Structure formats: structure tokens, C-alpha cells
Amino acid sequence: MVPCRWDLSQNWTLPSHRFSHDNIIYGNRWYLSHIDIHTPSEHTQEGKRYDAELQMHHFYSVRKETNEVSAVSIFLQAYDNAQPFRFLDKLICLWRHYEQATRSSCNLRPITDPYPGCFPVSRRDLLRREQQQNKTKPKSQYPTIMDWIFAKESRVIPSANTTTIPTLVMDEVNYEDAEMDDEEWGEFIAQESARFQSEESMWKKLRREFNTTDQAHEAFHQRHLLAGNDLDWFNYFAMLAVRTEYYFRYTGSQTIPPCYGDIEKNSKRGTNHWRVLKDPIRVHPRQVQEMKRLIRERIAPKDDPVMACQPDTAAKVRSDGTVDTARPLQATNSAHNDVFCECKDWPSKWPEDREWCRMKNATDRFYHQPYNFKGSDF
């Protein structure tokens, strides 16, 4: 049986890399294609559905015929006493920036709902964004590797009336060795754990001072630079914030049409490997509300060939304003090969995990305190 673990020290990448790499399966490199956010979660744990789910989609062996894919899935859950997850705020601010630009180009009213840290931005940041936007970047025919795989596998024999599928060119930097060894990675985890604990202490102090989470949220941003500009981008930020290395794994299909990942007997071709981390990232309720608003109020850009400047959300929007971008729960069967990988498989580098593993009674661990933090809503 393949060991139930991955070594995060092997997927440290710089923001400029076109594709990140991850050796979450079999010790080989998997390349990060894109990240999706679904609300509510598409997976459940012991029947619990979470506020949101972040899915990191990878691919492997695109130059061969296996075309395996993998998704690392991380839950997000809002807690009244949870501090803002600053990397998520960084994404939300960027999301709002593009929303504002789309509304302006379509001559629609600007965003009226404020969000801490996003607006206004400094003149330096505004100038930097304008310079980045003015750079001419070639547009890919296939936005993600999954689009490329779909096109490749549906290709007919090239002729005068068909277009040959282009070769996917990988940046050389993606073949370089990991930038940190195990010892350095352990030190990095210790530093990140200390930073999280420091920010949690700050959050508790601000909540006591202001009594409301919204005021504390704004004050929390004032302690840092606006829009998360003090945070260097890290593709695997969510895997740090979740603070667990333990997960459920199974083989299935992707959750968006055409649901790529049919399991073929005696072949890994088309397999979608899922890794669902057991703990949610604790986020501020305001962050979940803003994500839902952004999904609900999405406007198609001006150059959209079908819905230009029109409301265009992929979510199911209910009468009460809630949104749903999750596929209905699917049944499992023996072909899915589901396994839970935790304490008995390897010792985690996260102190929260190690503390959780000290609970020898499996019933207490899995049902009375299933997370590596104490919560009452499981």
C-alpha cells in the first residue's frame, strides 16, 4: 500500500512559477493547475457540510497517456470567535478589485459594500496594478490544464479542417529540486505556527477591546498593511493555515462537468485522486459572507461573447440570498478506495496535530474532538 502522506517540503514554489509542483502521491511531481472555491462544501465529514471548500487541482503525466489528476481539498468554516484568515482577505480584495474594474468598464454602479483593508489602496499600489494590467500577456487557448486534457482526449485525427492540440510547455523552474530540506521545512512550520498563535492572541485582545467582531476585523487590518500587501504570495497558503497533515483519500471524479475521472480497470488513466484534509480552516463570518456576495453578484466582463456586462453566476441563488456552488453528495463504492491517513501513519510536523494525536482513545479523537482544536459544532 502506498504510504498515506505527502511531504510539503517538496512543493515550495515562488509566486512567479507558472505551475507549482506537489508530490502528494507516489513521490512524483504533480503540477498545480488552478484553485476553486465552492460554497458550501462539496464533501462532508461524518455528515457535516462546511461553509466552503477550497480545491487545489493538479495534473500529472500530461505528456503520456495516463492524464491523472489530483485535488487537495480543504474545508473553511466560519466561527464567531475566529480571526480573519489574512490570505483569504488578500484573495477577496483582489476579487473585489476585478469586480470593480468590470463594473466600471460596463458603466455599472461601483461596489457600495465596504470591506476592511480592500479600499482605498495607496497610490503606489494603484500604480503597480495599472502597470501590471498594461503589460501585454498572450492569452492561452486553454485557461487550465483540465481544458487542455479535455481537448487532447477528444481530439480527432488532424486534418485540414481540424486544429492540432498544442504541446504543453513546462517552465524549467518546475523541474528544480525543492528549496527546503526536511530540517528547514520543520523550522518553517515552527515559525508559521508561532505566527498563527501571535495573530490569534492579537485577535482575542481586539475582540475584548471592541466587543464586536466587525470592529475587531477592521482594527485587525489596521495592524497590518492594507489588502494583505505584507503577505508574500504562497501557492499552498491554505495547507499552512489548516495546520494539519492528516486527511481522507479516495479516487473518484472531478465535481464540475464533464466530471473528469472515470476509473478504468487495471489503469490509472483518467483517475482523479482526492485528498481531503480533516480539519477546516477557521475563518471570520464576514469572509464567508463576502465570498458568497462575490459569487452571487458576479458580472460577466465586457468582452464576454455571450453575457457581456450581464449578471452571470454559476451558483444556485436562493430567495434568501444564499448561494450554492456545490455538487450534490455522491454515493461511494469499493472502487473509490477510501482511506483515512492520520497519527498511526506518520508524526505530523504541526504541534496542533501532535497534541491531538496524544488522545489515545480513538472514539474521543474521532467523535468527541475530531479536530486538532476544540469546537462544539461538529
Question: Is residue 7 pLDDT above 70, yes or no?
Answer: no
Cis ω on the peptide bond leading into residue 114 (within 30° of 0)?
no
- Once rounded to an integer, what is the mean pLDDT over residues 109-128? 68
**Which range (30-39, 144-153, 198-207, 340-349) has the least confidence?**
144-153
The one-letter amino acid at 89: D
- Domain boundaries along the sequence of the chain: 8-368
Helix axes 213-222, 285-296, angle to 10 degrees: 90
Which stretches of 18-90 are assigned E, i.e. beta strand? 20-22, 30-38, 44-45, 48-49, 52-60, 68-78
User: Is 273 in contact with 248 (CB distance < 8 Å)?
Assistant: no
Question: What sign does the dihedral 34-35-41-44 (CA atoms) show?
Answer: positive
pLDDT digits (tens, 9 = 90+) for 85-94: 988 988 898 8
The pLDDT value given to residue 106 = 93
Question: Is residue 202 pLDDT above 80, yes or no?
Answer: yes
* Closest CA relative to residue 145, chosen from 268, 31, 22: 31
Q: Are strands 68-78 and 281-283 parallel, antiparallel or unpaired?
A: parallel
Q: What angle do CA 102, 103, 109 make, to 5 degrees?
A: 175
Residue 175 DSSP symbol: G
23/28 Cα distance (integer angstroms): 5
Question: Is residue 159 pLDDT above 70, yes or no?
Answer: no
To the nearest whole number, what is the mean pLDDT of the chain? 77
pLDDT digits (tens, 9 = 90+) for 72-107: 999 999 998 888 898 898 889 889 988 989 999 999
Question: Is residue 121 pLDDT above 50, yes or no?
Answer: no
Question: What sign does the dihedral 312-313-314-316 (CA atoms) show?
Answer: negative
Model-level pTM? 0.82
